Amino acid sequence: MAGIVSFGAYVPIHRMNRTEFHRAWAGFPIPGESAVAAYDEDTITMGVEAAIDCIRDFDRQSIDAVFLATTTCPYKEKLGASIIATALDLRAGIRTMDITGTLRAGTTALATALDAINAGSARNVLVVASDCRLGAPSGMLEQMLGSGAAALLIGTDGVIAEIEGHSSLSDEFSGVWRSDDDLFVRSWEDRMTLEKGYSAMLSEAISALMQKYNLQADSFDKLVIDAPTNVTKQAAVAKKLDLDPAKIQDALFLTVGNTGAALASMMLVAALEEASPDQTMLYASYGNGADSFVLRTTAALANLEPRRGIKRHIESKLMLSNYETYLRWNGIIPLDAGRRPDPPPASLTALYRYRNEILALYGARCLNCGTPQYVNPSALLTTGVTPIRICAACHAKDQFEPYRFADKQATVFTFTQDNLAAGMDPPAITAVIDFDGGGRALFDVTDRDPSKLDVDMRVEMTFRKMFTNNGIHNYYWKARPIRCEDGNNG
């Protein structure tokens, strides 16, 4: 039976205490912290992080499809899933698809993945759910939304949670929406949104699932029920169906915030992290209708290496010191452009030609002397050195094999904190890093506490957005202090 083979998740390291929103705008104080995507993070980068967490100990060649579920794709016209697939160094001969437009995109993607596997057109499908929605400044939604991502590897081999059944229903009503030019989420008044929309649809879908598979109220060990921004409404759904509210999976409200199309998947990952074999789970998600699933964990769950997942990512955090930084990072207010000429637009030709060097962080290893080497295709001293033709160590010509640096950890050789560089998070920290196993390069250092940077600091690579120019999002890799010390670092 098809099911979940692996899981992973991502929560941005930056959190903001919600008292900061209250300090800025007064209004209703709301407890807890929001996970804030940094200026260099978006749906794609968070999706890559969650996917790496999910598949780092799996054979990349065995993945036949990547589905990206989100309502915040950085492009209207250009696929997001293909960027993720390239960053993950997956085969070219796979199916990539963005599933978007609804907050239940994550479960729609899961159902679609199951169909593909059951139809025999794919062995393993990577479902990535990632979202970074914004509420308008001073509103309640601003405080309640958060950013995050989850990834599920769906397949039939080594299943840790079988998906025993599934039921969907469609509904036109939407209590929250964004038109194609809205930056912020809009919302209808709460009572209709929650009662006619969320509660009614979810209970109907869950009830249909229970009937279809002859499930009783006490069949479930865990209830992973999607939550609206008002998390107390999870319990209302359970109550309606006579389900035990004590079994409801926490909706991450106090630690992350509502992560939209990624929330249900993130809750499922959090549930799987705590689950033991032979448990039955209800998994349901809402958004213009609802999807519901019944899952049963298997003995293989115990064999899966611990993930950074939800728990460890939540524990690893840096507090944003103020609301102004949140505004800056999210591009909500116009900022001083910096008193310097604009950089020239990126060459799409160069971005295409060097896509493996840039998006998958490929360098080369010399077959003659064994030295791994990486060159940034656009930095001052390495422009024109891509592809690598002459070995920097032994000077042999054209004897290389591809060598991937994205999964290598490294040590800071030297660094600076640059106040002159225009940046969204001054000081701009760049470091020369020496990769374990060989190779050296200059990278930005992100997700860092400037006071802790030092020579010999250990770092790992993280996929980030460099900047946007001419409508092109330039994605690349940065170094960051190792996020979670966990024996599963590479």
Select the span of 43-51, 89-97, 235-243, 437-445 touching other proteins (CB under 8 A): 437-445
Q: CB 473 → other proteins: shortest distance, Å? A: 11
Q: Is 356 in the site for other proteins (CB under 8 A)?
A: no
How many residues at the interface with other proteins, by CB under 8 A?
61
Q: CB 444 → other proteins: shortest distance, Å? A: 5
Q: CB 422 → other proteins: shortest distance, Å? A: 8
Q: Is 441 in the site for other proteins (CB under 8 A)?
A: yes
User: Which of 393, 407, 485, 490 forms a contact with other proteins (CB under 8 A)?
Assistant: 393
Distance CA 35, CA 314 (A): 9
Which is nearest to 4 in space by CA: 309, 306, 300? 300
Q: CB 324 → other proteins: shortest distance, Å? A: 20
Q: CB 478 → other proteins: shortest distance, Å? A: 8
Closer Cβ to other proteins, 199 or 386, answer by number: 386
Select the span of 75-83, 129-137, 287-295, 380-388 touching other proteins (CB under 8 A): 380-388
| Cβ atoms of 41 and 156 closer than 8 Å | no
E strand or H helix at 474? strand 472-481
Closer Cβ to other proteins, 300 or 396, answer by number: 396
Q: Is 341 in the site for other proteins (CB under 8 A)?
A: yes
CB atoms within 10 A of CB 18: 19
Distance CA 447, CA 441 (A): 18
Kindly write down the DSSP assignment for every residue of 169-195, as one continuous string.
Answer: EE-S--SEE--TT-SB-EE--HHIIII
- By CB under 8 A, the residues from 358 to 377 that bind other proteins are 358, 371, 373-377
User: Which of 140, 208, 332, 432 forms a contact with other proteins (CB under 8 A)?
Assistant: 432
Q: Is 89 in the site for other proteins (CB under 8 A)?
A: no
Q: CB 13 → other proteins: shortest distance, Å? A: 19
| Cβ atoms of 155 and 114 closer than 8 Å | no
- Cα distances from 412 to residues 435, 444, 466, in angstroms, run 9, 11, 20
Distance CA 437, CA 426 (A): 31
Select the span of 72-80, 196-204, 271-279, 409-417 touching other proteins (CB under 8 A): 409-417
CB atoms within 10 A of CB 342: 8
| Cβ atoms of 309 and 8 closer than 8 Å | yes
Q: Is 417 in the site for other proteins (CB under 8 A)?
A: yes
| Cβ atoms of 150 and 262 closer than 8 Å | yes
User: Which of 136, 231, 346, 482 forms a contact with other proteins (CB under 8 A)?
Assistant: 346
Select the span of 55-63, 87-95, 273-281, 351-359 touching other proteins (CB under 8 A): 351-359
User: Which of 171, 399, 434, 489 forms a contact with other proteins (CB under 8 A)?
Assistant: 434
Q: Is 427 in the site for other proteins (CB under 8 A)?
A: yes
Q: CB 390 → other proteins: shortest distance, Å? A: 9
ω into 387 cis (within 30 of 0):
yes
Q: CB 50 → other proteins: shortest distance, Å? A: 22
Residues across the chain: 490
Q: Is 439 in the site for other proteins (CB under 8 A)?
A: yes
- Cα distances from 460 to residues 34, 84, 314, 403, in angstroms, run 25, 18, 18, 16
Distance CA 370, CA 386 (A): 18
Q: Is 173 in the site for other proteins (CB under 8 A)?
A: no
Distance CA 229, CA 287 (A): 13
Radius of gyration (Cα) for the chain, nearest Å?
23
Q: CB 380 → other proteins: shortest distance, Å? A: 6
Sequence-distant (≥ 6) Cβ neighbours of residue 72 within 8 angstroms: 42, 43, 130, 131, 132, 133, 260, 261
Q: CB 325 → other proteins: shortest distance, Å? A: 17
The binding track of 290-329 with respect to other proteins, each residue x by CB under 8 A or -, is ----------------------------------------
User: Which of 331, 455, 485, 490 forms a contact with other proteins (CB under 8 A)?
Assistant: 455
Closer Cβ to other proteins, 266 or 358, answer by number: 358
Distance CA 142, CA 134 (A): 6
Q: What is the dihedral of CA 269, 273, 489, 351, to 10 degrees?
A: 0
Distance CA 113, CA 266 (A): 17
3-class SS letters over 82-134 = HHHHHHCCCCCCCEEEEEECCCCHHHHHHHHHHHHHHCCCCCEEEEEEEECCE
SS3 311: helix
Q: CB 90 → other proteins: shortest distance, Å? A: 20
- By CB under 8 A, the residues from 463 to 482 that bind other proteins are 466-467, 469, 474-476, 478
Q: CB 81 → other proteins: shortest distance, Å? A: 21
Q: CB 438 → other proteins: shortest distance, Å? A: 7
Q: Binding residues for other proteins, per CB under 8 A?
A: 339-341, 343-347, 349-351, 354, 358, 371, 373-385, 392-393, 413-423, 427-428, 430-432, 434, 438-444, 455, 466-467, 469, 474-476, 478
